[in-house]
Amino acid sequence: MEDYLTIGEISKLTAVPISTLRYYDSEGIFSPALKDEKNNYRYYTGFQIPVLKIIVHLKKLGFTNDSIKSHLNNLNYSHTLELITKIIEETKAEIKRLQRIEKELIQNSEQIKYLIEIDEKIDAFFIEEIDEIKAVYTEISLDIDSKKIIQAAFKKLDSSLNSNNSSEVSKKIDAPLSNTILPIGIYALIIPKENIDNGSFKEEKIILMQDVKNIEKKITIPKNRFACLYCKNKFKNRREYIDKLLEWVKENGFEIIGDAIIHFLAGPGFVKDPKELLYAVKIPIK
């Protein structure tokens, strides 16, 4: 046995853990030159060390167990080149995937920073100029139980989106529907100006603030100055905050010139109390 190395000795010489050597043996990648059937001890030869180092290097390059075995079974330059070429292509694809993830993470971090900024402005009135918004919508049915109207409208819009969510459609829509940003801040309710004027404050549309080409019902919210109020509470109490904003608009001598928006910013998954929502009431003014 003088010419053999124990599993512990070859582990020290190559810095490959004993557990890994046993795993390679079980997978048929790298087996000992001799195995004592009585005590199950593994013994290796010095000539196996270069092979083990090659295996370690191939593992580092991303070779799978099967591709390593294929290399060792063939030991043919052309065959090994084919294996490497395949891994190069797989690596390029993985780099692109990681770049997409990096881009999404950056976008998501900006969203969270925005929510942090909003948290510091809860219950504060302010004026904001908002660029034109192109959106798709569904009507809110008034024949449904008032407590379920919003929920039903969300379900209806989501069903419409899902029915159009083919790979072809996915190419034609922006970030939220292609899952590149967190699903926050992309939905809103529309209260027509006439419903503000008559005091009913009924929401008539729910919108997704993206231009989905295969959905026919579209709406454009023109660029305007908006009186805004960020709210964080139970959504059923929204009327109270709409009243507060309308009073502030009146006190400051502004004129309402269009439909009001209730913009959903964060809810379950981002707000601790599942019964609360973070949203903004926005009213166009001049």
Query: Does residue 38 or residue 23 have the better pLDDT?
Result: 23
Is there a domain that residue 239 lies in? yes
Instruction: Based on the fold, state whether residues 129 and 40 are members of the same structural domain.
Output: no
Show Cβ contacts of residue 257 under 8 Å, excluding neighbours closer than 6 positions. Answer: 193, 224, 284, 285, 286
Is there a domain that residue 175 lies in? yes
State what percent of residues in the chain have pLDDT above 70.
Answer: 85
**Can you give the pLDDT at residue 40?**
85
The last residue of one of the domains, among 75, 90, 107, is: 75
**Can you give the pLDDT at residue 162?**
64
Phi and psi torsions of 64, nearest 5°:
-80, 170
Looking at 35-44, 237-246, 252-261, which range is the least confident one? 35-44
Give the CB-side neighbour count of residue 205, counting CA atoms within 13 A.
19
Instruction: Based on the fold, state whether residues 203 and 71 are members of the same structural domain.
Output: no
Is there a domain that residue 99 lies in? no
Instruction: Based on the fold, state whether residues 152 and 235 are members of the same structural domain.
Output: yes
Residue 269 tokens, joined: 């998954």
Averaged pLDDT for residues 211-227: 87
Task: Please measure the distance between the N-terminal and C-terminal CA atoms of the chain and give it in whole angstroms.
Answer: 94
Instruction: Based on the fold, state whether residues 255 and 201 are members of the same structural domain.
Output: yes
Is there a domain that residue 109 lies in? no
**Can you give the pLDDT at residue 172?**
39
Q: Tens digit of pLDDT for each residue in 40-50?
A: 899 999 999 99
Instruction: Based on the fold, state whether residues 166 and 56 are members of the same structural domain.
Output: no
Q: Which domain holds residue 155?
A: 121-285
Burial of residue 228 (CB within 10 Å: 0-12, 13-18, 19+) is buried
Nearest to 281 by CA among 269, 264, 266: 264
Nearest to 228 by CA among 245, 213, 252: 245
Is there a domain that residue 116 lies in? no
State what percent of residues in the chain have pLDDT above 90.
Answer: 62
Instruction: Based on the fold, state whether residues 68 and 125 are members of the same structural domain.
Output: no
**Can you give the pLDDT at residue 20?**
97
Q: Tell me if 225 sits within 8 A of 284, measured CB to CB.
A: yes
Averaged pLDDT for residues 58-72: 95
**Can you give the pLDDT at residue 51?**
96
**Can you give the pLDDT at residue 275?**
78
The last residue of one of the domains, among 17, 51, 75, is: 75
- Confidence class of residue 210 from pLDDT cuts 50, 70 and 90? confident
Burial of residue 44 (CB within 10 Å: 0-12, 13-18, 19+) is buried
Name the E strands within 55-155.
Answer: 125-130, 133-139
Instruction: Based on the fold, state whether residues 43 and 165 are members of the same structural domain.
Output: no
Average pLDDT, the chain: 87
What CATH number is associated with residue 58?
Answer: 1.10.1660.10
Given a cut of 90, whether residue 211 has pLDDT beyond it is no
Distance of CA 131 to the CA centre of its chain: 25
What CATH number is associated with residue 140?
Answer: 3.20.80.10
Is there a domain that residue 179 lies in? yes
The pTM of the full predicted model, rounded to 2 decimals, is: 0.68
Q: Tens digit of pLDDT for each residue in 132-182?
A: 999 988 888 766 555 566 666 667 666 666 655 543 444 433 434 445 567
Instruction: Based on the fold, state whether residues 161 and 53 are members of the same structural domain.
Output: no
Number of structural domains found in the chain: 2
Query: Does residue 141 or residue 197 have the better pLDDT?
Result: 197
**Can you give the pLDDT at residue 274?**
74
Is there a domain that residue 82 lies in? no
**Can you give the pLDDT at residue 273?**
81
Is there a domain that residue 35 lies in? yes
Instruction: Based on the fold, state whether residues 23 and 150 are members of the same structural domain.
Output: no
Instruction: Based on the fold, state whether residues 132 and 270 are members of the same structural domain.
Output: yes
Instruction: Based on the fold, state whether residues 30 and 159 are members of the same structural domain.
Output: no
The last residue of one of the domains, among 40, 75, 110, is: 75
For residues 272 and 217, what is the distance between their CA atoms, to the nearest angstrom?
A: 34
**Can you give the pLDDT at residue 175?**
38
Instruction: Based on the fold, state whether residues 67 and 128 are members of the same structural domain.
Output: no
